Amino acid sequence: MTGPRISAAATGWRDRARDFAAREIVPRVEEMERSDRFPPGLLRRLADEGFLGLSIPIPYGGAAASAEDTVAVLSEFGRVSAAVATLLSVHLSVASMPIVTWGTEAQKSRFLPSLARGSSLGGFALTEAGAGSDAAAISCRYRRSATGFRLDGTKMFITNGDLADLLVTFATVDPGRGVHGISAFLLEKGARGFSVAQRLEKLGLRGSETTELVYDGVDLPVDALLGSEGQGLTIALKALTDGRVGIAAVALGAAQAALEELLRIGRLHPGEGSRIAAARGFTEVTAAEALVLRAAGLKDSGAPFVREASAAKLFASQAAVRTAEAAVDLAGPEAGNLAHPASRLLRDARVFSIVEGTSEIQELVLGRSLLGR
């Protein structure tokens, strides 16, 4: 089986990603599974190949690649390591794109070049223990100070949290103000009062750093505000729409890997059940690919893509889970070994129905868009 059939416009990036994945990522997958740490040096290699600046505009040191290019890269990486692909997706979408879209020229000039060349890694700090799917319910607080803003609170389940040099962070001036009280800030690692409280052990995506963050009287200057006060939820929701296309592409790559594993197992255990599983897996992966490419194409054209992003993320996540489950079923007792490829693929796939908006949230987003609120 070949990778997802991206159009000719993205072939160059896809081929580069496939070569890089085989050369630099595949040899590190087993160690990532054992240690649950992102491999030392791999971030630098990703940067040297231009992947960390993939979608950042050219004036700021990036490649200004299209959404279709980005989908091609993320799906190729997702085929060999969902953890590496997720790190890159977060960096490119929810961390970098809010600065591209909402940042002042001074903020863009200060932060985007370092994100593009890999001297900084980006993260996105929205989720809290009591505010996951309901972003408007965040309780991390900010208040005006003599020099700018002061933040207090915690964030939970933050991808890249332990590695990120720059975090797009969301806080509310008053929880009672709901969506109108939330603002976005650019927080650099090393800010006094900011710390990583713990690294979280996860079901899958081992090697992807997921953390709890603490803001204990973190002082930020006035120019750390991204956009305007009260604009934070708008920034967050737009970022998450962009991010869903990226995560859908990662899930597509994972689904493709699961299909390849299912076919490998099916050839070892031929029979009617294997044929049916292969047919279903192929159909699901092909449908997921079409949805992901549809969302990316609309994004590139400048057309609205909220529905398509949610549909792609929803279906690609489900396709990854169902195809990986079929591979586990065909493998039988062998898949009980945590090191079995089908076992790892299923653990990774299950995470995609949670991150960047659960499957239920995607259904609500779609339903509201289609039927109204």
pLDDT of residue 9: 44
At residue 206, does pLDDT exceed 60? Answer: yes
In a domain, residue 75? The reply is: yes
pLDDT of residue 154: 96
356 catalytic per annotation = yes
* Alpha-carbon distances, residue 373 vs 241, 311, 331 (angstroms): 18, 18, 45
DSSP, collapsed to helix, strand or coil, labels residue 6 as coil
Read off the pLDDT of residues 118-140 as tens digits, 9 standing for 90 and up: 999 999 999 998 876 677 789 99
Read off the pLDDT of residues 141-200 as tens digits, 9 standing for 90 and up: 999 999 999 999 999 999 999 999 999 999 999 988 888 999 999 999 999 999 999 888
At residue 357, does pLDDT exceed 80? Answer: no
Same domain? 365 vs 245: yes
- Residue of 243, 217, 143, 127 lying closest to 183 (CA atoms): 143
Specify the number of domains making up the chain: 3
Decide which of 368 and 260 is more confident: 260
Out of 188, 356, 360, 363, which one is annotated catalytic? Answer: 356
In a domain, residue 81? The reply is: yes
Same domain? 132 vs 205: yes
User: Locate tokens 């087993």: which residue?
Assistant: 30
* pLDDT, mean of residues 258-286: 95
In a domain, residue 2? The reply is: no
* pLDDT, mean of residues 101-113: 98
Burial 168-184 (b: 16+ CB within 10 A, else e): bbbbbbeeeeeeebbbb
pLDDT of residue 132: 64
The DSSP string of 283-352 is HHHHHHHHHHHHHHHHHHHT---HHHHHHHHHHHHHHHHHHHHHHHHHHGGGGGSTTSHHHHHHHHHHHH
* pLDDT, mean of residues 70-94: 97
* pLDDT, mean of residues 341-346: 92
Residue 227 structural domain: 122-232
Averaged pLDDT of the chain: 92
* Alpha-carbon distances, residue 340 vs 34, 219, 259, 335 (angstroms): 13, 47, 15, 5
In a domain, residue 97? The reply is: yes
Same domain? 173 vs 281: no
Read off the pLDDT of residues 41-67 as tens digits, 9 standing for 90 and up: 999 999 999 999 999 999 999 999 999
Structure tokens at 90: 């977060």
